[in-house]
Structure 1
Amino acid sequence: MAKNPTWTCVVALALNDHGGKWLMHRRPADKHHGGLWEFPGGKVENGETPRVALVREIREELGIALGWETISPVTFAEEVPVAGRNGIVILLYKAAWDGTAVQALEGGEVAWFTPQEIAGLAKLPLDIELAQHLFEKP
């Protein structure tokens, strides 16, 4: 029987400001993919559901408290496993925010962009795919 590849589940948030702009996070220069823009989020830990993990990650990374019921799923993107590295599946959720200021608490920077501006940002490969799905016209 062939060994099944393992994968890492990651959650990300497309946060909008009710005015047509979306929040993106630039990874710190000293981290893997440093300087590239991404939707904020992180790994789902053992015992967490994706929504619970996303609420935790957003509180830790941005300093804001979202209720899990305020976020809704949008799409996903996946990276195929390669030798020595698990594949990644990113589940993208969206929510609106008009509360307190958002901060990059774990380094890097955050900024609000229009979908057109996001298309021009240097992003991680899976975030390119997520943005395309998020902003495609129905």
Structure 2
Amino acid sequence: MTDRVTARVVVAGALYEQGRLLAARRSAPPEFAGRWELPGGKLEPGETPEQALVRELREELGVEVEPVERIPGEWPLGPGYVLQVWTARLISGLPLPLEDHDELRWLAVDELDSVDWLPQDRPAVDEVVRRLPPHPSGSARG
């Protein structure tokens, strides 16, 4: 229980549109370069997870998002860090790999195995997919 209280939270966004999930390929740090993840980052002091998610996706992808729902669970990232994932709705902008990533891909559920996920992200992605509709009837963007 102590680890949970002292662990630093890293938030990730599950952007899902037209039946596809956005994946981001890491360019840094070197030990993670070339592996795929759900984009996001660390909470800063005084931020809520939702505020951190909005800020991180603005910085990393150049988009504005609205957090929708926290995916139940959290996944250990290493000593002192845990991953929490939120579904998010894209409000404006086109995602671009601006910071810490060199490529983005929209992946259909049957394409999720086509990228080399970071080990801690794969179970989170599986949980996201279990909770999302198979394919929305219309685009999530207006």
The interval holding the TM-score normalised by the smaller chain is 0.7 to 0.9
Change (3 A) 1:7 1:137: closer
Cross-structure match for 1:134: 128
Unaligned runs of 5+ in 1: none
- TM-score relative to the length of structure 1: 0.81
Aligned residues: 128
How is 1:1-138 mapped onto 2 (pairs within 5 angstroms)? 4-5=2-3, 6-17=6-17, 19-28=18-27, 31-67=30-66, 70-79=67-76, 85-86=79-80, 88-97=81-90, 99-106=92-99, 107-136=101-130
For the aligned residues, what is the CA RMSD?
2.2
Give the aligned residue type for 1:113.
L
Shift of 1:74: 1.6
Give the aligned residue type for 1:11.
V
Aligned counterparts of 1:110 and 1:126: Cα–Cα separation in 2: 18
Shift of 1:99: 4.0
- TM-score relative to the length of structure 2: 0.79
Rg larger for: 1
Unaligned runs of 5+ in 2: 133-142
- Any idea what SS the aligned residue of 1:108 has? strand
1:11/1:93 contact within 8 Å kept: yes
Percent identity between matched residues is 34
- Any idea what SS the aligned residue of 2:74 has? strand
Q: Which has the higher strand share?
A: 2
